[in-house]
Amino acid sequence: MTSLGPLAGITIVDLTRVLAGPYCSMMLCDLGARVIKVERPGVGDDSRHIGPFIEEKSAYFISLNRGKESIALDLKAVEDRALFEGLLGHADILIENYRPGTMDKLGYSFDDLHARFPRLIYAQVSGFGDTGPLRERPAYDLVVQAMGGVMSLTGQPGGSPTRVGTSVGDLAAGMFACAGINAALFQREKTGTASKIDVSMLDSQVAILENAIARYQATGEIPTALGSRHPSITPFDSFETQDGNLVIAAGNDGLFRALCKCIGREELFTNPDYESNASRTANQAELKRTLEETLQTKATKAWLGILAEAKVPSGPIQNVAEVLGHPQTLARNMVVQVDEPGLENFCVAGNPIKISGVEDPSSRAAAPELDANREALIREFGL
Amino acid sequence: MTSLGPLAGITIVDLTRVLAGPYCSMMLCDLGARVIKVERPGVGDDSRHIGPFIEEKSAYFISLNRGKESIALDLKAVEDRALFEGLLGHADILIENYRPGTMDKLGYSFDDLHARFPRLIYAQVSGFGDTGPLRERPAYDLVVQAMGGVMSLTGQPGGSPTRVGTSVGDLAAGMFACAGINAALFQREKTGTASKIDVSMLDSQVAILENAIARYQATGEIPTALGSRHPSITPFDSFETQDGNLVIAAGNDGLFRALCKCIGREELFTNPDYESNASRTANQAELKRTLEETLQTKATKAWLGILAEAKVPSGPIQNVAEVLGHPQTLARNMVVQVDEPGLENFCVAGNPIKISGVEDPSSRAAAPELDANREALIREFGL
């Protein structure tokens, strides 16, 4: 075991604010990279001012920036520009999520920087991307969730389009950017060439539309929100029990038979209306009612035991407190503590990328105060 | 421009089926890797049998497996095992999404393979991970969306927990695995060490819970579904207009002022109830009603023009047909055609990771017929 992740030795200069970019650099930090956050003097990352707050610190900011360093620089001021460029001379990666065009005006376009720092990888995360008619439009998570189609697919049938309850508009872009940056690091190591990565939040939403694109083309019908059920696999839905609800995902004939058997409704498996996944999907509303007649006779916990025994994929619909306290979540070290001065037991999500031979620590260093690392960085790099 | 992505020259042996794994290897394919899909003889990937179908082919399968090769192998049969091991001898990465334990029984655990193929990176994508009490439980997207908490955060206030309308349970795991695999490739290139990546679908859901974890700890209240609004930023919601709806994300005081001004309601900006983001969030229901009084007086399209002019982040709630036809989506090459014999104009999502110097082709090679590449692979590798 080593404490070093695969990106040990890699230094990132991180100009990003709020969510998509900081989520990306947080992933890179968890993979072992050093992240130097460059913030606006006086104000810092906007997310320092977004609640919820604990002891006057933004819990939101901490959860995205634990383990990073901070230096406040005004990229329009001569002295700070010299410091910034000095940092770039020691960096492997620059990440920014300004509106496209902003870095060009500062004299820090990829072409400008590539000429001076030929090994610097440049990653840009923006709302709509570095090209196209909407290039300079501002975007937030909600805007790309709305424009990207996922809201039209989420919600109850016939109800309002619904935002996904976490910021997948930002997070998906951060995750794609992270994959792209790692690929660019590999490419640089192999070929010596450093490239620019351009990831947009809207593109990332298109990329996660998944089977909706295929369905639309195959049927000509515009996919709509279906509650919790799957469009083409049945039964694959949430169901009411005596005291609540649960989900069952019986994705093939074998699992459907196992489901019917374990709940004592074997006759459903031989019913011609339910003989194939296609017929079960065609008759899904009736099948759901029929299954619920039985499921409503016992409590959720009892059914979950029976279904698990029969190896039918199923589970409780857990709230955030339940998932954070779940034995599997804890066994996987997916809730880690932040060593934040003055805050005891503040936890954040752990690293979902587990790597052999790499330590998966159960805590993270604190999030930096604004400009906390200025003097140390100046000394270390002789700036 | 070169047609070669950063993973050009990398060969992946891909044992995965249906969604999380194939989505991961599709991303790797788009980054330039060669993906050899190993499938069960006779049946192949389960997703070959999941609708919707076009011309008797699964559009679902095509959309995830375009550009890959296929060989059908029975990993319990001596001859096929020899072929499989021969392929591994030429591979950089093995990806599998069996239930943990399955590969061990086949004699293909990471330790077994690492001893024989020390440069082979091993990536495992599973429902619950390779450790912990639920290790061997089967999972599908719906199960981890339910257990991972995102369903409890998605839906209308007071309504049913709602599945996200795309399979983020699978996709998030595929995306984290892709980032991890790229990091492992970089590490191998730099240090010579090949590692094992263990990504679980449930862990991946915890990792995208985002601010819900911070909110729960800061307030002690269990976060719930909030419709389309943001929990701590206001106004950040969908709103009714005269003929439909739109979203507005006015994430700070400056944007709120711009919003009030452009819709002719400047008095709202000076109203003490709405003077800060915190007070706007505390009074969000009343503010929404007030804004909708005005927004309901014009059509969506008219308001979108006014809001864009004022640089207030906003957008239409688009359905799948609208997003696929949007000028920005098209300008970004996010809808690409598959060269599928007998299917004209079948399109899939493009690559959201745009890389300088790398061609972003507007089409993809067809998805393979089951076992289509057996003879060619045997010849090429002298198996």
Q: Where are the domains of chain B?
A: 11-208+330-381, 236-319
DSSP A358: B
Which range, of A35-39, A260-264, B52-56, B174-178, averages the lowest pLDDT?
B52-56
The residue in chain A having the minimum alpha-carbon distance to the alpha carbon of residue B246 is A146
CA distance B9 to chain A (A): 11
The answer for A 159-218 residues in CB contact with B (under 8 A) is: 159-168, 171-173, 175-180, 182-187, 189-190, 193, 195-200, 202-218
List beta partners, residue A14.
A37, A95
pLDDT at A251: 84
Rg from Cα positions in chain B: 25
Looking at beta carbons, which residues of chain A come within 8 Å of B143?
247, 249, 313-315
- Across the range A288-301, mean pLDDT stands at 98
**Cβ within 8 Å of residue B281, ≥6 positions away:** A51, B231, B232, B233, B234
**Which residue on chain B is closest to A252 by alpha carbon?**
B46
Rounded Cα distance, B296 and B310, in Å = 19
At A1 the pLDDT is: 45
Nearest to A196 by CA among A103, A65, A134: A103
* Interval B83-109 mean pLDDT: 98
What is the average pLDDT score of chain B?
A: 96
pLDDT at A344 (0 to 100): 86
Q: How confident is the model at residue A51 (pLDDT cuts 50, 70, 90)?
A: confident
H runs (alpha helix) in chain A: 20-30, 59-65, 78-88, 102-105, 110-116, 141-147, 150-153, 168-191, 201-207, 211-219, 253-262, 267-270, 277-282, 284-295, 300-309, 320-325, 327-331, 374-381
Global pTM value: 0.97
Q: Say how far apart CA B198 and CA A306 lie, in whole Å.
A: 29
Weakest mean pLDDT among A39-43, A251-255, B99-103, B148-152: A251-255
**CA-derived radius of gyration, chain A:** 25
Catalytic residues of A: 230
**CATH code of the domain made up of A11-208+330-381:** 3.40.50.10540
User: Closest by alpha carbon to B368, among B62, B129, B84?
Assistant: B62
Res. B1 pLDDT band, cuts 50 70 90: very low
Q: Is A366 on the interface with B (CB under 8 A)?
A: no
Above 70 in pLDDT, residue B3?
A: no
Distance (Å, whole) CA A141 – CA B312: 13
Angstrom distance (rounded) from CA B381 to CA B383: 5
- Supply A175's token pair: 């995750």
Nearest to B218 among A53, A151, A356 (CB): A53
The per-residue pLDDT for A3 is: 64
Q: Is A321 touching B (CB cutoff 8 A)?
A: yes
Q: CA–CA separation, B74 vs A174, rounded Å?
A: 38
- Reference A71, options A84, A90, A88, A56; nearest CA is A84
Side-chain-side CA neighbours of residue A275 (13 Å): 4
**B173–chain A nearest CA distance, Å:** 8
Q: How far apart are CA B67 and CA B85, in angstroms?
A: 23
Going edge to edge, which strands form the sheet with B335-339?
A: B347-349, B335-339, B363-365
User: What distance in Å separates residue A145's CA from the closest CA in chain B?
Assistant: 8
Question: pLDDT per residue over B138-196, tens digit each?
Answer: 889 999 999 999 999 999 999 999 999 999 999 999 999 999 999 999 999 999 999 99
Residues in chain A with CB shorter than 8 Å from the CB of B313 are 127, 137-140, 142-143
The domains spanning B11-208+330-381 and B236-319 adopt the same CATH topology: no
Pairing of strands B314-316, B245-249: antiparallel
Q: Please tell me which of the candidates B143, B162, B202 has its beta carbon nearest to residue A162.
A: B162
- What tokens does B52 get? 């919707």
Active site residues of B: 230
The nearest CA of chain B is from the CA of A375 a distance in Å of 30
For range A92-117, the mean pLDDT: 97
- Would you say the C-alpha torsion B50, B203, A5, A92 has a positive or negative sign? positive
Contacts A46 to B, Cβ<8 Å: 251-252
Query: Cβ contact (<8 Å) for A146 and B238?
Result: yes
**Inter-chain CB proximity B147 and A316 less than 8 Å:** yes
Q: Does B292 touch chain A (CB under 8 A)?
A: no
Q: What is the dihedral of CA A118, A121, A125, A128, to 10 degrees?
A: 50
Q: A-chain residues within 8 Å CB-CB of B226?
A: 165
- Residue identified by tokens 């024989």 is B116
Give the mutation candidate from B40, B356, B360, B364 for the A interface (greatest A CB count, under 10 A). B356
Checking if the pLDDT of A290 tops 60, the result is: yes
Angle between helices A168-191 and B168-191 (to 10 degrees): 20
Specify the pLDDT at position B251: 84
Tokens 């000429």, residue? A115
Give the amino acid at B316. P
Superfamily for domain range A236-319? formyl-coa transferase, domain 3 (3.30.1540.10)
A187 has a pLDDT exceeding 60: yes
The number of C-alpha atoms within 13 Å of A118 and in the hemisphere containing its C-beta is 4
Helix (H, G, I), strand (E, B) or coil at B338: strand
pLDDT at B126: 98
* A-B contacts (CB, under 8 Å): 523
Mutate to test the interface with A, among B186, B197, B200, B201 (most CBs of A within 10 A): B186
Q: Do A206 and B172 touch (CB under 8 A)?
A: no
Contact assignment for A176 to B175 by CB distance below 8 Å: yes
Q: Is the dihedral of CA A270, A274, A278, A280 positive or negative?
A: negative
The residue of chain B with its CA nearest to that of A212 is B320
On whether any CB of chain A is under 8 Å from the CB of B324, the answer is yes
Distance separating the N- and C-terminal Cα atoms of chain A = 35
Q: Rounded to an integer, what distance in angstroms lies between the CA atom of residue A108 and that of residue A113?
A: 6
DSSP B237-293: EEEE-SSSEEEEE--SHHHHHHHHHHTT-THHHH-GGGSSHHHHHHTHHHHHHHHHH
Token pair recorded at residue A351: 């690293």
Determine which of A140, A226, A304, A347 to mutate to test the interface with B (most B C-beta atoms within 10 Å): A140
- Interchain CB distance below 8 Å, B142 and A230: yes
The pLDDT mean for chain A works out to 96
Is some CB atom of chain A closer than 8 A to the CB atom of B86? no
Q: Which residues of A touch B322 (CB under 8 A)?
A: 149
Report the run of H or E that residue A14 belongs to, with start and end: strand A11-14
- Judged by a CB distance cut-off of 8 A, whether residue A132 touches chain B is yes
A156 CB neighbours in chain B (<8 A) are 155-156, 159-160, 162
A144 Cβ partners below 8 Å, 6+ apart? Answer: A127, A169, A201, A202, A204, A205, B315
Please tell me the distance from the alpha carbon of residue A199 to that of residue B354, in angstroms, as a whole number: 6
Query: What is B53-119 written as a DSSP string?
Result: EETTEEHHHHHHHTT-EEEE--TTSHHHHHHHHHHHTT-SEEEE-SPTTHHHHTT--HHHHHHH-TT
pLDDT digits (tens, 9 = 90+) for B236-294: 999 999 999 999 999 889 999 999 999 999 999 999 999 999 999 999 999 999 999 99
| Stretch A34-57: mean pLDDT | 94
Interface test with B, best of A113, A121, A141, A210 (most B CBs within 10 A): A210
C-alpha to C-alpha distances, B265 to A97, B252, B261, nearest whole angstrom: 31, 17, 6
Torsion angle in degrees (nearest 10) through CA of B286, B290, B291, B293 = 140
Cβ contact A246–B60 (<8 Å)? no
Task: Tell me how far apart the alpha carbons of residues A68 and A280 are, in angstroms, rounded to a whole number.
Answer: 51
Distance in Å from the first CA to the final CA of chain B: 35
For residue B218, give the nearest of A46, A54, A245 by CB distance.
A54
Cβ atoms < 10 Å from Cβ of A190? 17
User: Which residue from A50, A154, A327 is facing B154, i.e. has the nearest CB?
Assistant: A154
Element (H, E) at A315: strand A314-316
Q: In this complex, is the C-beta atom of B141 within 8 Å of any C-beta atom belonging to chain A?
A: yes
Long-range contacts of B263-271, Cβ-Cβ distance < 8 Å, separation of 24 or more: B263/B291, B263/B294, B263/B295, B263/B303, B263/B306, B264/B294, B265/B290, B265/B291, B265/B294
As a three-state string, the secondary structure of A60-123 is HHHHHHCCCEEEECCCCCHHHHHHHHHHHCCCCEEEECCCCCHHHHCCCCHHHHHHHCCCCEEE
Angstrom distances, CA of residue A207 to CA of B107, B173, B329: 36, 14, 11
Provide, as residue numbers in chain B, all residues whose Cβ is less than 8 Å from the Cβ of A247.
Answer: 142-143, 145-146, 151
CA distance A363 to chain B (A): 15
Q: Does B254 touch chain A (CB under 8 A)?
A: no
Does any CB of chain B come closer than 8 Å to the CB of residue A220?
no
Chain B residues lying within 8 Å of A6, measured CB to CB: 183-184, 186-187, 195
The dihedral over CA atoms of A97, A101, A105, A110, expressed in degrees to the nearest 10, equals 70
Is a pLDDT exceeding 70 seen at residue B2?
A: no
